[in-house]
Structure 1
Amino acid sequence: MQCSYFDAGLCRSCTLLDTPYAEQLTSKQARVEELLDAHSPEWLSPIASPEQGFRNKAKMVVGGTAAAPTLGILDGRGEGVDIRGCALHLAPIHDALPVLARFITLTGLQPYDVPSRRGDLKYVLVTANAEGELLVRFVVRSEDVVSRLRRHLAALQETLPNAVVVTANLLPEHKAVTEGEREIVLTSRDRLTMTLAGMRLELRPQSFFQTNTPVADQLYTQARTWVDELGPASVWDLYCGVGGFALACAAPGRAVLGVETSVDAVLSARATARREGLDDVRFEAGDATEAALQAQPGEHPDVVIVNPPRRGIGETLARWLDASGVQHVVYSSCNPVTLVRDLEWMPGFRMRRARALDMFPHTTHLEVVTLLERVDSPATDRPRVRMP
């Protein structure tokens, strides 16, 4: 893929862009196979990504001035670099960014200047669904400027009618995060419907969603295939986000529980389950490890799915899984290094299958999903899981 920003040295986020894509995928597969070599899984063929036009979300730092805003990244001096033409984004996002830049000028919101710590607007976050509808979030420092967004909202919707959800996110602190805790919804709609693996998932503003829709579709389909082959009566989806794995693995008579720290994500997941009439699928807000530790002694699901952040599931949860009666674990990892570390605390399981998915093309990162099965012999008289 050719990129003028990369060629000019303005953006180097895609560190592997000068490597042919086929070589990128081959190298990633070789690296993850080397990392997991001691576990000797059956490797399924890797899942490739489109080389461009795959990102359903843009996280754009706002720089420059209100009269001439930049949307993109910051350089080493903390000044804005405009990359609104980035080819990784879906077409509706690509088309929306110039409109949003003009809207910033219309509102007179001053972009946040990192060196001086002055200004109103820090980020513009844009998510697109398959229908081209947009969720637009303006990350601002103070509620004082929200009235300006409200005042000009009709003008934005007239020039960008597919912006069906528009919010203001409050982030007053000067720190290296993208969003704050408080969200103010400015439109009548408060969620976007995202299609993934045949499911229509409800996405609220602060909910996590995989940014590479084509590859994520394959990820959830793979997990569903493995779980359906096992035919479990009960499944836990820990770190469930908006419920993708839990909802994908729902089946008649199968009790499914999703656990996620984000209340917004849990509300999104519950809305999807309610709309689809999935009475056997439940979602709870809480810490994944704490949820496992609070289970009654001997109670366990047949299958646990984990999809943790890059830090992995950690020793406590890994050891709990190893000591439990859980028979299979589907572990989806965006960091194979922490996956290998977590497996050291789970000697009661062996890796049966694995598949690499190139969720992050043109970078060194990738996703790997694995199916673990128990090889020791836990007590057989433990009762099946009782849903909390």
Structure 2
Amino acid sequence: MDRRRNIPASDGTRSSRRVASPDHRGAKDRVERVDPYGFERSEDFDFGSYEQLMSEYMVVLTRRSIKWSKLLKGKKKVDKNVKLKRYVRKGVPNEHRALVWMSASGAQEQLDRNAGYYQSVLGAQHDPKLVDSIRTDLNRTFPENVLFRKSSSTCLQKELYNVLVAYGQHNPTVGYCQGMNFIAGLLLIITRDEEKSFWLMEALLGRILPDYYSPSMLGLKTDQEVLGELVRERVPGVWGAMTEHGVMWSLVVSRWFICLFIDVLPVETVLRIWDCLFYEGSKILFRVALTIIHQHQSVMEDARSLPDVCQSFKHMTLGPFVEECHPFMQKIFTEPGSLSMATIAKLRATCRARILAEGS
């Protein structure tokens, strides 16, 4: 996977992918080869631009961190309010992400109400098929991340296995399917805590994104169709191109939804999306998808074939537009316009009924 992550910013910045020039070889030696999340930087990473940019941007990062520290004042929980929502949309500093995600999603409340539950499901007798499926995917989870290599002193594979097995035991209807390993892996990178990662997965898969990972994947299929309806209403030119070339939404956006943009967008952008996802719910996924599609409307409208459309979707998630996570996140709250959960719920009901009727 090409993570394309450069700047460890909590409220975004510009990130460059230009090849480092000879003049910057010294800078390359001074900057870490591994980013703050454990991902190795690509060979074409521009260390010179990175060093220059961070020297200017550290002031901004420090200011954001100070504001968050004053807001939290050492609290272990936070209550939702207008001010916190504004802060979340501007980005949560990495040192506060676990606390904010746990509180905003309701995961902390579930953990507090169910003391000892995680250890009980982890220690239970597990289905051998579940165990085998999870073990098969352990080495496939973030292979370019040093935190998931067996040779690493801080290897998180055991913790990843525990979280996935415990969740499969907790929710046998879902069990385990590919994609869940990356979600659990990123949660562990942020929380460094098995139990918190388990309850955050329960919040995502059980409440925020229900039926995404059930055997029928009805929730996932429904939301892909909902996106299609939103595009038809708000970006009709793209919808026309999709219809003309007979492209199914599941063909081009399934990875966006099933991995919640992991392995699709740069990791810092993904984390900014997840900040809002845990706070505001699944409508954030539609805001992100609509913004990306709207930005590339003209390219889509020029597509002449199904391969052209698929290639357009591949290129949508590359480049400065998605790498510059702060302006990108500002865009997702303005470009798609108003998008309420009531609107999403109405479209889901319509699309779900259509899917069920077609399958009967």
Say whether the fold is shared (TM-score over 0.5): no
The structure where helix makes up a greater share of residues is 2
**TM-score, normalised to structure 1's length?**
0.24
**TM-score, normalised to structure 2's length?**
0.26
